[in-house]
A and B are shown apart, each in its own frame.
Chain A
């Protein structure tokens, strides 16, 4: 068999170079730095440092604040992912039923997507402000003694609510296009085969949306882990007492505010490993079930 031989040339390398450069400069280099830093213990002034093997990791994992933060991150991610998917799916199903007038509706929901997380956080902050916040007032009038500054549950409620609100729009768009790609005939055949619309949803529509749902789940978990940083930084800043401190936010506060570079690096390496494991798990075990 004859092999096609392309003439060797520098041109392809020239074209991929910027991409590779970006990956190296903004991802590989910092990651390597983090791993290196995580083995070092710096003195309080950052002048000298000492190689300490896994001490930073031990300190991190045995630290109550870190465990609290890990616990919160997991609960937070599960809730944000679940609610932003569930609400978006509900809206998309409703919108899909009355599709004719839905393009303006679609655009309106899309707006939230254009809002950057810190802006969403600032808006949320305003709404929950004890002096001028409408939602703050409304919740208190409804009899909920609401105060996100003092109550851990209330603070979690605020960051979850804003995070979900911010993410529903993008999920909605994906779900809607997923719903629209289900052939009309398939839904009609199901109408003849099954009387109950709820049952049709769970046996036909939902399984056919599984690839979309899986994709969105990965996106949403990543979002909850990392991108909600901006929301937390502009609302609770981890308060009260670290109750809303996600792992990513804690890396930032310990490293930049607490100047504990070694500990903070160890935390981010652990975070990287967690995300890696999660991703592998998702692709190995869930993706296999969602394709048809």
Chain B
């Protein structure tokens, strides 16, 4: 149960890589924060700096108001779950979980009770005498969680803990992690590159791009009100549709199509129109026309993919539409589309800044 603050945090590796470039953040008690971003954006680096596994080049971190920059990892009272579990291969599950407690000088009977209680919560009490090599991937994952939980730390840190599991188990564990975090109320940071995982887990998520936080907020906030082109394109599945545009003669020009309803946009700057697939629908006298390439039936709804007409000389632009169940359209067909103008977004192409 703790708060964590980062102010002006920077990380430069010895080889000159500037992995984290000035991050400010306040994480309140009991929150589950997700760091999400493409591979190599610095998520792990930031998390490892909180854990004390990487030094802090610049800036300050505090836990419960106390500066931790110089505190050794073991004294920060944080627990981490690693991507490949990092269990101690020569110790039984029991010893794996007890190790941190033994080193903190807890009484033997308390350790025994604590480990059994945690093992029960995670349903691994039958494996306590096994070595990690005798466990399945999912069971190892649970032991790794158990090793973190049993210490009752101030912070949980997760670095892509589910990426070695198969899809079904991943969804299961995701739900379980969320449930455990709620129950235990421990402030947590969770790193992932998977936006679905991020959206489903987070109380708030921080979208990271090249060592900077692009935007931080609740999943719905980031989805419906992204501040930058990067956030808009990263959050949401399927991805937001992005079409190059210009503002000319008081109208937004997208390929050959001129669209009304937009004003006060800068002229002569390359713009990008962003529309989410669920905000477009087939309509008899719609503004856009696409030729259908592919229809994916998902059961509850269907996704129509097609190329937008009217980008003469340019490569055709792919568009995705989320239509109601059982769309009857066939590949090769041309259909007209309408979109909810009020939910469209416009970005500058150069800076990525959102204008509308």
Query: By the criterion CB–CB under 8 Å, are B100 and A194 in contact?
Result: yes
Please give the distance in Å from A193's CB to the nearest CB on chain B. Answer: 4
Contact partner, B80, options A189, A199, A208, A292, Cβ 8 Å = A189
Set of chain B residues within 8 Å of A204, measured between Cβ atoms: 88
Contact partner, A208, options B78, B89, B99, Cβ 8 Å = B89
Look across to chain A and name the residue whose beta carbon is closest to the beta carbon of B98.
A193
Q: Given that A189-B80, A189-B82, A192-B73 are known contacts, is A199 also in contact with B88, CB under 8 Å in the complex?
A: no
> Is B51 on the interface with A (CB-CB < 8 A)?
yes
Query: By the criterion CB–CB under 8 Å, are A193 and B100 in contact?
Result: yes
Set of chain B residues within 8 Å of A189, measured between Cβ atoms: 80, 82, 86-88, 147
Complexed CA–CA distance, A186 and B85 (Å) = 8
Set of chain A residues within 8 Å of B88, measured between Cβ atoms: 186, 189-190, 204
Query: By the criterion CB–CB under 8 Å, are A192 and B99 in contact?
Result: no
Q: Given that A185-B82, A189-B82, A203-B99 are known contacts, is A195 also in contact with B90, CB under 8 Å in the complex?
A: no
Complex interface residues of chain B between 84 and 108 (CB less than 8 A to chain A): 84-90, 99-100, 103
Q: Given that A292-B131, A292-B133 are known contacts, is A191 also in contact with B86, CB under 8 Å in the complex?
A: no
Set of chain A residues within 8 Å of B151, measured between Cβ atoms: 193
Size of the chain B interface, CB-CB below 8 angstroms:
26
Complex interface residues of chain A between 31 and 69 (CB less than 8 A to chain B): none
Q: Given that A192-B100, A194-B103 are known contacts, is A292 also in contact with B82, CB under 8 Å in the complex?
A: no
Q: Per-residue CB proximity of A262-280 to B under 8 Å, as 1/0?
A: 0000000000000000000
Set of chain B residues within 8 Å of A192, measured between Cβ atoms: 51-53, 73-74, 78-80, 100
Complexed CA–CA distance, A204 and B86 (Å) = 12
Q: Per-residue CB proximity of A166-204 to B under 8 Å, as 1/0?
A: 000000000000000001011011111111100100011
> Is B72 on the interface with A (CB-CB < 8 A)?
yes
Q: Given that A191-B53, A195-B103 are known contacts, is A185 also in contact with B86, CB under 8 Å in the complex?
A: yes
Complexed CA–CA distance, A220 and B80 (Å) = 40
Q: Given that A183-B84, A188-B53, A193-B99 are known contacts, is A292 also in contact with B89, CB under 8 Å in the complex?
A: yes
Contact partner, B103, options A186, A199, A208, A210, Cβ 8 Å = A199
Complexed CA–CA distance, A193 and B151 (Å) = 9
Query: By the criterion CB–CB under 8 Å, are B74 and A207 in contact?
Result: no
Contact partner, A188, options B86, B89, B103, B147, Cβ 8 Å = B86
Complex interface residues of chain B between 58 and 75 (CB less than 8 A to chain A): 72-75
Complexed CA–CA distance, A196 and B88 (Å) = 17
Set of chain B residues within 8 Å of A203, measured between Cβ atoms: 99
Please give the distance in Å from B123's CB to the nearest CB on chain A. Answer: 22
Query: By the criterion CB–CB under 8 Å, are B86 and A207 in contact?
Result: no
Query: By the criterion CB–CB under 8 Å, are B99 and A194 in contact?
Result: yes
Look across to chain B and name the residue whose beta carbon is closest to the beta carbon of A211.
B90
Look across to chain B and name the residue whose beta carbon is closest to the beta carbon of A100.
B14
Query: By the criterion CB–CB under 8 Å, are A191 and B74 in contact?
Result: yes
Please give the distance in Å from B129's CB to the nearest CB on chain A. Answer: 13
Please give the distance in Å from B44's CB to the nearest CB on chain A. Answer: 11
Complexed CA–CA distance, A117 and B131 (Å) = 42
Q: Given that A188-B53, A292-B131, A292-B133 are known contacts, is A193 also in contact with B84, CB under 8 Å in the complex?
A: no
Look across to chain A and name the residue whose beta carbon is closest to the beta carbon of B72.
A195
Please give the distance in Å from B145's CB to the nearest CB on chain A. Answer: 13
Complexed CA–CA distance, A194 and B151 (Å) = 12
Look across to chain B and name the residue whose beta carbon is closest to the beta carbon of A189.
B86
Query: By the criterion CB–CB under 8 Å, are B89 and A186 in contact?
Result: yes
Please give the distance in Å from A290's CB to the nearest CB on chain B. Answer: 9
Q: Given that A185-B82, A185-B84, A188-B53 are known contacts, is A195 also in contact with B74, CB under 8 Å in the complex?
A: yes
Set of chain A residues within 8 Å of B100, measured between Cβ atoms: 192-194
Complexed CA–CA distance, A103 and B19 (Å) = 27
Complexed CA–CA distance, A204 and B84 (Å) = 17
Set of chain B residues within 8 Å of A207, measured between Cβ atoms: 90
Complexed CA–CA distance, A25 and B88 (Å) = 48
Complexed CA–CA distance, A281 and B133 (Å) = 27
Query: By the criterion CB–CB under 8 Å, are B103 and A193 in contact?
Result: yes
Look across to chain B and name the residue whose beta carbon is closest to the beta carbon of A186.
B86
Set of chain A residues within 8 Å of B103, measured between Cβ atoms: 193-196, 199
Complexed CA–CA distance, A210 and B89 (Å) = 12
Complexed CA–CA distance, A160 and B42 (Å) = 52
Set of chain A residues within 8 Å of B147, measured between Cβ atoms: 189, 193
Look across to chain B and name the residue whose beta carbon is closest to the beta carbon of A192.
B73
Set of chain B residues within 8 Å of A185, measured between Cβ atoms: 82-86
Set of chain A residues within 8 Å of B51, measured between Cβ atoms: 188, 192
Identify the 7 closest CB pairs spanning chains A and B, nearest first.
A185-B86, A193-B100, A195-B74, A292-B90, A194-B103, A189-B86, A185-B82
Instruction: Give B contacts to A, CB under 8 Å.
Output: 51-53, 72-75, 78-80, 82-90, 99-100, 103, 131, 133, 147, 151
- Provide 10 A-B residue pairs closer than 8 Å at the C-beta atoms, listed in order of the A residue: A186-B89, A188-B53, A189-B80, A189-B86, A191-B73, A192-B73, A192-B80, A194-B74, A196-B103, A292-B133
